[in-house]
Amino acid sequence: MSALPRDHAALPDTMLRDLEELVTCESFSADLGAVARSAGVVAAQGTRLLGVPPETIVIDGVTHLRWTFGAPRVLVLGHHDTVWPIGSLLTHPWSVAGGIARGPGVFDMKAGLVQAFHALASLPSPDGVCLLVTGDEEVGSPSSRALVEEAARRCSAAFVLEGSAEGGALKTARKGTSNYEVVVHGRAAHAGLEPRKGANAAVELAHQVLAITDVAALADADGTASPALAGPDTAVLTEPDAETTVTPTVLTGGTAPNTVPALARVAVDVRVPTLAAQERVDALIRALSPRLSGTRLEILGGPNRPPMEASSSAGLLALAQRVAAGLGLDPLGGVGVGGASDGNFTAGVGCPTLDGLGAVGGGAHADDEHVVVAALPGRTALLAGLIRAVLAGERGEAGNGHGAVDGAVPR
């Protein structure tokens, strides 16, 4: 069962040319002009391969693309923005050597877009598919989240073209993310003449950082809050057994060396495996209270992406393993990962979701970002085979926990 045309052996060269075209058009998320230019290149490539132009959607200055074929039952989801600042091609140029392609964004996730275009182009008809390519995934999808969730609610399966896990494994679970900023308000005073008239926000911030990282004050194993959390010694911590992480990151404070700081703040990164853990940590963060007289706390932010729990992908993983076997590909595994993607949103609204269907490679966001060229045709065939199977009503072998029967099947 091949999902690619008979001349698929020639695809690596064709796909490499398309990949070079996308990688050499830089698309740093924070540069909306660059994202718009990238969207133009992605749209042109998709139009050439799919035969129709996309709908161009600009929200808050960010350019997204959507192809809709008939009444969608399958969502193919990707993004064209990257974490690489404009000019990164000078230090990380496009190259292909020893069967490895390199360049900014090559793995995360421009190779996935090329695979998506070629997979859809290989189908007898793309009818029943929505291909959504967003432009702000790397910064949390603030303008595209509604687009992603709207599309997912109408579909029986979502296939996310993020790069694979190690060894080509699919991503079957992702942690949810929450982002907070704990702001301490104090009172300024001259550090030499009358420091006691101040309320030192920096010292209070130090107490809060310790509270945020103190594992002894975690919620009980059954998810109920410990009585110790009810008073001023409230603390929030990493929960190693459940793989929840709560990490203070960027700290700022003060205005001058001889002034008691009146303001200080810390950013907090939270990763959770379940919605219950996300809600529990949110409650604990908001229960933080000041230690020093004259200071007060302001808690900003909150949950960003819900967890993509393993139940949302179980049926689709079984289906993918069956499709891969039929194509003669290596056996497929599935792993849970800490990073989030737009797959968190699709799973969060109840759409069975399988992630990591993009390129085989590694080094996302790092100097060694790369793609294994020889794997491109096989991954393309896998995606095409999955789409065909879902549209034909095939089922996986495991329930997904979201109402669809035995994996993602058409409604």
194 is catalytic: no
Contact between 319 and 394 (Cβ < 8 Å):
yes
Coil vs helix vs strand at 159? strand
Strand partners of residue 176:
272
DSSP code of residue 306: -
Catalytic residue among 81, 136, 309, 369: 81
Coil vs helix vs strand at 214? coil
Q: Which residue has the tokens 């749209």?
A: 43
* Neighbour-count burial for 20-56, b at 16+ CB within 10 Å, e otherwise: bbbbebbbbbeebebbbebbeebbebbeebbeeebee
Following DSSP, what letter does each residue of 67-84 receive, concatenated? EEESS-SEEEEEE--BSP
Neighbours of 236 (CB within 10 A): 30
137 is catalytic: yes
Interstrand relation of 334-337 and 296-305 (parallel, antiparallel or unpaired):
unpaired
Neighbours of 273 (CB within 10 A): 22
Rounded CA-CA distance 74/164 in Å is 20
Catalytic residue among 26, 137, 342, 394: 137
Interstrand relation of 296-305 and 176-185 (parallel, antiparallel or unpaired):
antiparallel
Q: Among 290, 340, 297, 278, which Cα is nearest to 181's?
A: 297
Could you give the residue numbers annotated as active site?
81, 137
